[in-house]
Every structure is written in structure tokens, then in C-alpha cells.
A and B are shown apart, each in its own frame.
Chain A
């Protein structure tokens, strides 16, 4: 053990003086967090904008009533829709095609109102909102008719029908939004947690660098080290330990930056977040060790493998914008095992669960998954390394 610690000093120096490690493992996450911070600064979180809808009316009384009702719904701060009048259907269709409005509504005498949506953007939430607004207005008359049929006496008093109609169109019923999560969630928090997953995998470079520089077939210096009087296992242990220390430190720096500068919440569990970094650093070392131990692969090819693995595994973690988050959701729903075995996803999940659940069980589960992934990767790399003790040079 003593020899491991005495060698670690050199591994630490080697890692910390490596320009690639400093740029990618330490500085890059900070830069990315800063970019995220500025990007999300101006975006209104969670708010829904009014759905713009075109209205085409033939001027008849019934049509004007509907158009007027829609316009009325467009006023106010919380308006669900934003109605825009068009003189004819051709103009409205052009506006819908170019995306100015999500759909348009045609109101004409003697016909039921009709909604038209552009072919390329059909089935959006905005269109469903417009549909709901229109259907509610249609329901008023249907309900009145049903009441007249089922319980005609209810509408016998003068003005009853009008009162019922206005009550049906009212908005007395309310819902109260509960916040069940420990921390106020936002769609942007997900980016930051995914970014920690990305950083952890970037950290695999450190273990890769140090492992390769201990291998006889990795670098000339590695061959020289294998001639040394220290057990190769102890040499590898010092590499992995040093890599773990470096990645852990870099992750903690990123965490502090996100907490203090960017203001990302960890649910008031910063201590546990640091502990989570320890598990993330471990998985990072395991990934690096596995790539470093791949038999019959050149050192430069291993660098390529490491980069591709980092990007490929981060993709389903939802780092690269909305499309990649949709991919992540789809995989979570349809291939949960793939997500469970992906270290980048599990790192993101770890912080996510820490921040959002009262119970620590889900968090512990994610940390457990990280440890299990690390154990498997390290076992496989140990197998590779054992086989290559007599490496063909």
C-alpha cells in the first residue's frame, strides 16, 4: 500500500500537468455551465404562451358571435389563445403554413365551426388548446339541449337557459397546483444534471491517460515502468486512485460552481451531492480503465474510443437539447435497462433524485447502480489486463 501512495504523487502531477485534462475535465464543465446559465437566463421557465389562431368569419350573426367569443378569450394576461382575424381562408391558410398561427377557425352561417391545421405541424399542444376552447363553446349548446330533453322543467323559469349558458362558459372551477418535489423543478435543471454526467465521462480521460502510461504496450514510458520492481497491480492501483482523486476534485469544483454561481439546486443536500461525486468519479475511473485496458488497440485509437463513448453515452442523458431529451424519455420508457446501464444517465439521475425526492432510497439506488457499473467495468478491465501481462509488443 505504501508503494501505491508513493507512486500516486507522480500520477497526480502527470494528470494535473496534462493540458487535455485541465481543459476537458476541469475547465470545460465550468464553461458549459456558464453557457447554460446565460442561455436559460432569458427563457421564461414553465410559462405557456397563448396559442395564436386565425379566425375567418363570413360576417353572419352566428359566425360573428363565435369570432367575438374567441377574441374575448384572447384578452387578459392569462389568455389561452390569441385570435387574429383574416379576411379570407386563403390568407389564413398562408399564415398557418408559415407558422404565424397554429391553426385557423372558419365560422360561417349555418355550418358548424371548422378548424384547419397545417399538414406539417398537425397535432400540436397549441392546436389542442384551440380545439378545447371551441369544443367548450359547442358543449354549451349541447348541454342546454340535453337538459331541455332530460329535465325540461329545469329550464322553465325565465332566463334559466341564459344563466345556465353563461355558467357553463364561466371559469369558477379551479385547480390548485401542488408542488410535490423537494425542490422547485425546472426543465433547465435537467441540463445541469446531464452535464455532470457528461463531465464524469470526460473524466475517464484521466484514468485512460494514467493507465496507458503504465502499460508496456501503451507508451514507451509505460514499458519502462513495467520493468520496475513495483508490482504492476500496485502501479495500476496508484493510477486509478490518482485518477479518482483528480476527477472527484474536478466534479466538486463543478458542483460548487453550479451551486454558488449558477444557482442550481441540490435540494439542500450539498453534502450528499459531494458524496455522489465520489461515486461518479469512481465510474469515470472504471470507464477510463476499461478503455485503457482494451487489448490490441493503439493509444491514439483509445483516445478516439473515449471521446466517442463520452459523446454517445451523454446523448441519451439529455444533454444535447430537446431532441436528445426526447430520446432520453423514450429510452427510459421503452428500454429502462439500457438507461440503467448508462453511467452518464445514472450520474444525472443521482443528482436529480437527490434534489427531488424526500426519500433517499431512489438516490441510493442510483448510487448503487453507479457502483455496480463501476464494479463490472473494473472487473472486465482487470480481466483484460491480466491477459496482457505478457503483452505482445
Chain B
């Protein structure tokens, strides 16, 4: 096993590569995970950031503005086109309510006449659904006032008073409970960390193998020495392949150890069996990375090419796999292609483990099947590497 140990030592000496592709990538994953949060805790209704531009100044508009502000975080915004654009472009507010001049009177008149009420204006952020939620709330408030004005003889001020009082009643508040799980599942920050670690496990491993073992490449002077050594070709090949696998294992262990360390706080409450189960597909992916690195190495890819192949490959695969954009939001065509790639199966398996609250036979079987499928990619790539390497040697 001398060659195996020797090759492993050679790879580990590439400290710059290790720093970038293991430590830095893991740190990025952690950084992102820490902004996601653990996602657990008591229920608190979403509070969108809301800005109100009241051009009307009536009792109705005042009430609508106050309600919008109550159920969200109020952001001050001057009434200029620039400010509106700024708010929309920078996403300063999820929702900007613009109450047009004469809205209060218009609403009352329409209600009395049984006509359609005038429309409120709003700017809804594209970034997430919180803007739409705020819009729903505002419409609910306007509808309440419209109904009161339409079906009663109350003045606008009285209607506002009634609506405000009705809103204040305790029974209008819904009781919300939290379902406590019998066993704690994986925290969501750890899920994000694991999803992002797929980049390092595939690309990082591949680059470490391809670049780290470069000096043992077929066109390098050291190879002559290796060939001259009293080792059979099979032993040599097997030890080098094992060294590649060892690199994959080491990257996996390092990345996941860092993850466990950084997410230790949120992982403390999680079921250890689930955490361990999640490691299986990740380990298989590291093997795929090692096999891809072995393929690149067999092809004699030098620095730039290996880096390019590793990073571009990783980027495309993690994208298709659903690390960047959730699998559920992918189009059908993209999903069809994505299923042919290893990261998709890994992320899918991680999603299953995340959704589970305890280890069941079904879950283990499903994760094992997906891990096996991922491992098949590793076998295929390694076989291709071996065949190409042999062909090149004969050539």
C-alpha cells in the first residue's frame, strides 16, 4: 500500500487547493445556512415590510393605512416616483400601498350606490409572496369598510370605528398551535449546508484528485519511476484508484465534520440517526467526484482544464440537482434532464431525510436506493477513466 499512502500524501500537500475547495466552500455553505435559520420555534405570523402613501387623507384611508402598518413592518417612503422605484428596485418594502386622492369618498359613494368600489394602487415586490399577502390583508380591510358602508347607514367615520372595534375583538384572532414532533428531524440550516456541500463534494474532490495527483500523471517524470518499481500493473492501478477514493472520503469527512461543528447548536436536538442517514448519499457523491477526478486525471487534464471541468461541472450539476433553485420549482423538461445527474438524487434523498421525523424502514430503503444510484455514477465514471487511461497508454 506504499503507493496509496504516497499518493495520499502528495494530494494533502496541496494546501491551497484544500483551503479553497474544502474549507472555503464549506464556510460559504455555512454562511448561507446561518442566514436560513433553523426554522423552528413558536408560531409568528409573517410580517411583510409595508409602506403607505396616503394621497387621500380621509378617515377611510387613515384606517387602511393604520391596518396595513399594524400587520407589517412600516417603512417610511416619500411620495415621489424615484422613491417608489427605489423601494421596488431595492426591495425596501414588500408592499407599497398607494391610496389615491378621493378614495374615501369614492368608496363611500360606490357603496351607497351599490357600484363597484374604486381600486387601491399598490406596488408588490417580485421577490417573494409576502407582498401578495399584504395585498390580501389590505383588500380584506377595504372590503370590510365597503360592506359596512353598503349595507348600513353608518357614516364613513362610524364605519371605520365599527370595523376597528370588530378587529379588536378577541374572537377574531385565530388560535394557532404548533405540532411538536415526537422525534426531532433535521434542522433546515443543516439541510442548506448539506445541499451546498454537494459543490465541494463533487467539484472539490474532482479537482483535488485531478490536480493533486498531477505529478503522478502519465506524462510526468515520476511515472517513469513508478513504472520501473517492482509493482504489478494491477496493484499500481488499484492503489492509485484507492488513493482517489481516499481523497473523496477525506473531503467528505472534512466537509461534513465542519458542517457538524458549525451547525452543532441546531443539530443538538436532531435525531442522530437521521443525521447519519443523510451522510450516505453525500458520501456516494464524494465518490462520484473522486471518479470524475480520476477520469480527468486519466485524460491528463492540467491545471486550468481540471479547475474548469471541476467547477463548471459542479455548477451545472448543483444547479440541475436543486441546490440553488428548489427541485419543486423546476420545469418538467429540466427535471427530466436533472434526473439523469447524480446531484439530483442526492438532493432528493436529503429532502426525504429532512421531511422525515424518524428513521423508518421505508425511508432507509429509499435513501439507500438513491445512494446506490448515485454510486452507480461513480462506477461508470471510474470505468470510463480506466478505459480511457488504458487507451491513451496504448496510444
Contact = CB atoms under 8 A, between A and B. Distances in A.
A118 B132 CA distance: 23
A303 B207 CA distance: 15
B21 to A, nearest CB: 9
Contact of B175 (A112, A171, A177, A329): A112
Interface stretch (B4-12, B143-151, B252-260, B291-299): B143-151
Given A122-B43, A187-B126, A136 B116 contact: no
Interface string A111-154: 01111111111111111110110111011011101110011011
Interface residues of A, number: 107
A128 B46 contact: yes
Given A48-B132, A129-B133, A357-B86, A116 B177 contact: yes
A134 B174 contact: yes
B137 to A, nearest CB: 6
Contacts of A383: none
Interface string A154-192: 110000100110011011111111111110011100000
A358 B133 CA distance: 28
B135 A175 contact: yes
B83 to A, nearest CB: 9
Q: Output the residue of A43, A146, A154, A173 with the most chain B CB within 10 A.
A: A173
B143 A145 contact: no
Contacts of A323: 32-33, 35-36, 192, 196
A260 interface: no
Contacts of B173: 135, 138
Contact of A123 (B16, B17, B46, B84): B46
B361 interface: no
A125 B129 contact: yes
A163 to B, nearest CB: 5
Nearest to B97: A175
A31 B311 CA distance: 12
Nearest to B64: A173
A153 B152 CA distance: 9
Contacts of B357: 97
Interface stretch (B216-224, B229-237, B331-339): B331-339
A290 B180 CA distance: 54
B82 A43 contact: no
A312 B323 CA distance: 18
A164 B147 contact: yes
Given A28-B308, A114-B177, A150-B161, A164 B120 contact: no
A320 B154 contact: no
A266 interface: no
A145 B81 CA distance: 43
Q: Output the residue of B122, B166, B333 with the most chain A CB within 10 A.
A: B166
B312 A28 contact: yes
Q: Output the residue of A112, A132, A138 with the most chain B CB within 10 A.
A: A132
A19 B308 CA distance: 10
B79 interface: no
B179 A178 contact: no
A135 B174 contact: yes
A152 to B, nearest CB: 11
Contacts of B181: 97, 118-120
Contacts of A125: 46, 128-130, 133
A39 interface: yes
B119 A175 contact: yes
A362 B86 contact: yes
A245 to B, nearest CB: 21
Given A173-B120, A323-B33, 19 more contacts: A31-B316, A39-B324, A42-B330, A116-B179, A122-B43, A127-B46, A131-B174, A143-B163, A150-B161, A168-B147, A172-B117, A176-B121, A177-B121, A177-B124, A185-B126, A304-B20, A320-B28, A323-B36, A327-B32
9 contacts: A20-B308, A42-B335, A129-B133, A132-B133, A154-B152, A163-B151, A311-B28, A320-B324, A362-B86
Interface of A: 19-20, 23-24, 28, 31-32, 35, 38-46, 48, 80, 93, 96-99, 112-129, 131-132, 134-136, 138-139, 141-143, 145-147, 150-151, 153-155, 160, 163-164, 167-168, 170-182, 185-187, 300-301, 303-304, 307-308, 311-312, 315, 320-324, 326-327, 329-330, 332, 352-353, 356-359, 362
